[in-house]
Amino acid sequence: MDASVFVQSITSSPDYKQQIVHVEDIQSQEAIYAELNRPLKAALKTRLEHLGLSSLYSHQVEVLNATFSGENVILSSPT
């Protein structure tokens, strides 16, 4: 289902009355990639490459670097 059709569907549904207070269309942007401070384990790197994933997005790298440093992390990312 198209995202805009889904949003229209739930915002007009009585089940969601007054539960959705804001809808915003955020324009797409170019991907930003980054490098990890330390490499992934070989098996994980191989699996990602097998899936066609040779680069990580900057927010993914930021989370992994923080995790590797022992920090607590919560990640929320638009799709």
Q: End-to-end distance of the chain based on CA atoms, in angstroms?
A: 14
- Residues across the chain: 79
- Helix, strand or coil for residue 40? coil
* Euclidean distance between CA atoms 71 and 63, whole angstroms: 9
* Euclidean distance between CA atoms 46 and 22, whole angstroms: 41
In this predicted structure, what is the pLDDT of residue 54?
Answer: 92
In this predicted structure, what is the pLDDT of residue 79?
Answer: 64
Each residue of 19-58: pLDDT tens digit? 888 888 888 889 999 999 999 999 999 999 999 999 999 9
Task: Please state the pTM of the whole predicted model.
Answer: 0.65
